[in-house]
Structure 1
Amino acid sequence: MAMNLPSGRGKGRRAPMADINVTPLVDVMLVLLIIFMVTAPLLTAGVPVNLPDSRAKALDQEQEPVQVSLDDQGRIFVGENEVAEAILPDVLAEIAAGSDAAAPRQIFLRADRSIDYGAVMRVMGELNRAGLNRVSLVTVASDAR
């Protein structure tokens, strides 16, 4: 540990301090780390949907998929935006046109477990008609029984 003792030279001047106190920096970084650890799980899904359980394993993917969600009232969401059923084919056609033929877009279909099966099949039919055939049904992983 070094100490700065006054010397006989330059009686009116103080020597510059060459030490940096890193304790406040470490404290701030730890607080930021805790904040990010708490908020990161909250950023995963935008539309609250009660998903069914499944024992299937997660998929590996290279590009960000498009999320299509149906909530418990039957409303349709593409990403975070609510879409009327009448304009759903146009929105899906835009998505299909933006994807490249070599690597078509992956679609994650999330539907509430209490919703009518026919509503899910209508959305899947529109996805198929738009040429978006890489559809994954999202579920909640359950424990092996």
Structure 2
Amino acid sequence: MENFYDELKNKIKLELFSGYSDQCIQRDFYAALFISNVQTLMVAELNEELQENQTSQYKYKVNSNLSYGFLKDRIVELLLSNKDIDEVLSELKGIFRNHLIPIRPNRSFQRHKDKYRNRIKPKVPKNQRNVL
């Protein structure tokens, strides 16, 4: 549950609404949930296929942050184009498949408690790029 909240808040930028009215906020919220659901379904199906077919040292999974960005660029085409929906979905899955990250089991690093104590917190600029 916390991972999903993190995705909504940090990857989808759910708190950045396009307007101030209740209707606009609800529309943005439901659109973000819809995109999140479509991305989750596509990535889950693709991750299952990847787990069945892998023979290398590491197992791989789809990069979820990049998949949100690629889906964002093609969601209108997916819903409103005259193309066959299976064609658009297979194109998206191909793009997702090209951006995989390895799953490294038993990864742990020792933490140095005082290493970052003297650093100043980074300022987050207002012009950072959003995934959606």
The structure with the largest alpha-carbon Rg is 1
Structure number with greater CO (CA < 8 Å, separation at least 6) is 2
TM-score of the aligned structures, taking structure 1 as reference length: 0.23
Q: TM-score scaled to structure 2, two decimals?
A: 0.25
Bigger helix share: 2
